[in-house]
């Protein structure tokens, strides 16, 4: 018996019980079907990767694989071995670009969020409003202005063209700023009284207290960088600077005739390979993501 029942005589059975209680059934009735619907795209990706050609082109389409096969993966690896440039080069580019982008994005977004949340300067609200307006634009809507900016900066056909366009994520800055808003100002003032500099406050106080939000931004940035084939298509002519996502996306577009049938199976296997790193990272960091959503001030 807890303090509530001790002083009020009311038994608490529905608020976070230690074990299963009948009162929890109402949550399962709603949440289990919802979770099943959300899992359908993931199940379909796995199912399609192991479908033979006759099931991939079956009509009406089949959701689940009936006769699983590894042929799609063997065809994919056979195609990779015939590439003019080693596939390891594309993989190395993707890993390096993703790591650099994630680290740089966390530093830039968190520093900007700290300034917008805890510092006072002119145009502070205006700059944050501009960031919020940027949330409304889908990437394809700013393709031409982005190309002109990249051309003026002479970043075409360089390594940094993969990093800089993804570096500043409006959603990342928004989430981090809302999360830092929840840190009491008294904590910052106490550190300043003790003689801490802005860099010390940012590094020793802000970053440790916003780890859940940083994990969320890391996931979002990872997905944007790892799955990005658009940059290699629009801004890169040097094949050695292109990424694995671009190369895998071209496997089906370069197939014609009878090979187009096998190309669909290769595309399904490639989609699963590109999806797995996103799934693994989210599984490891899901607790931090849930914490961010509950503390970031989203209503």
- CATH number of domain containing 92: 1.10.3720.10
Of the candidate ranges 31-35, 85-89, 104-108, 213-217, the one whose mean pLDDT is the lowest = 85-89
Q: Same domain, yes or no, for 63 and 99? A: no
Angle at 121 between CA 174 and CA 296, to 5 degrees: 20
Domain membership flag for residue 132: yes
Amino acid 289: pLDDT: 67
Domain membership flag for residue 15: no
Amino acid 255: pLDDT: 55
For 185, half-sphere exposure in the C-beta direction (CA atoms, 13 angstrom radius) is 4
Q: Same domain, yes or no, for 173 and 107? A: yes
Q: Same domain, yes or no, for 63 and 152? A: no
Q: Same domain, yes or no, for 166 and 257? A: yes
Q: Which domain holds residue 64?
A: 23-69
Q: Same domain, yes or no, for 30 and 161? A: no
pLDDT in tens, 98-155: 999 999 999 999 999 999 999 888 888 999 999 889 888 887 888 888 889 889 988 8
pLDDT at residue 250 tops 70: yes
pLDDT at residue 192 tops 60: yes
Domain membership flag for residue 13: no
Domain membership flag for residue 205: yes
What is the count of structural domains for the chain?
Answer: 2
Full DSSP string of the chain: --HHHHHH-----SSS-SS--GGGHHHHHHHHHHHHHHHHHHHHHHHHHT--HHHHT-SSPPSS-SS--SHHHHHHHHHHHT-SS-HHHHHHHHHHHHHHHHHHHHHHHHHHHHHHHH---TTHHHHHHHHHHHTT--GGGGHHHHHHHHHHTT-TTSGGGTTHHHHS-HHHHHHHHHHHHTS-HHHHHHHHHTT--HHHHIIIIIHHHTHHHHHHHHHHHHHHHHT--HHHHHT---GGG--HHHHHHTTTTT--TTHHHHHHHHHHHHHHHHHHHHHHHHHHHHHHHHHHHHHS---
Q: Same domain, yes or no, for 41 and 160? A: no
User: pLDDT band for position 16 (50/70/90)?
Assistant: low
Q: Same domain, yes or no, for 233 and 287? A: yes
Q: Same domain, yes or no, for 178 and 286? A: yes
| Predicted TM-score (pTM) above 0.85 | no
Q: What are phi and psi of 215, to 5 degrees?
A: -65, -40
Question: For all residues of the chain together, what is the average pLDDT?
Answer: 82
Q: Same domain, yes or no, for 147 and 187? A: yes
Q: When comparing pLDDT for 11 and 185, which is higher?
A: 185
């Amino acid at each position: 018996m807890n303090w509530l029942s001790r002083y009020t005589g009311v038994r608490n059975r529905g608020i976070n019980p230690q074990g299963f209680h009948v009162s929890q059934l109402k949550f399962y009735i709603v949440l289990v079907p919802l979770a099943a619907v959300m899992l359908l795209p993931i199940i379909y990706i796995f199912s399609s990767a192991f479908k033979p050609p006759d099931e991939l082109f079956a009509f009406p389409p089949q959701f689940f694989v009936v006769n699983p096969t590894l042929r799609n993966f063997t065809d994919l690896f056979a195609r990779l071995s015939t590439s003019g440039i080693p596939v390891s080069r594309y993989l190395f580019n993707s890993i390096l670009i993703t790591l650099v982008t994630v680290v740089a994005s966390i530093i830039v977004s968190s520093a900007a969020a700290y300034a917008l949340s805890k510092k006072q300067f002119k145009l502070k609200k205006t700059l944050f409003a501009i960031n919020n307006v940027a949330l409304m634009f889908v990437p394809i809507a700013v393709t031409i202005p982005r190309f002109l900016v990249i051309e003026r900066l002479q970043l075409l056909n360089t390594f940094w063209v993969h990093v800089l366009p993804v570096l500043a994520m409006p959603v990342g800055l928004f989430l981090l700023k809302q999360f830092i808003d929840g840190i009491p100002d008294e904590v910052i003032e106490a550190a300043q009284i003790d003689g801490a500099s802005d860099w010390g406050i940012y590094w020793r106080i802000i970053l440790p207290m916003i780890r859940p939000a940083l994990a969320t931004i890391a996931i979002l940035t990872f997905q944007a960088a790892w799955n990005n084939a658009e940059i290699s298509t629009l801004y890169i002519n040097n094949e050695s600077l292109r990424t694995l996502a671009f190369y895998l996306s071209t496997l089906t577009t370069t197939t014609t005739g009878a090979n187009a049938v096998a190309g669909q199976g290769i595309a399904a296997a490639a989609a699963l390979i590109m999806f797995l790193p996103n799934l693994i990272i989210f599984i490891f960091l899901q607790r931090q993501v849930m914490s961010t959503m509950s503390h970031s001030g989203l209503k």
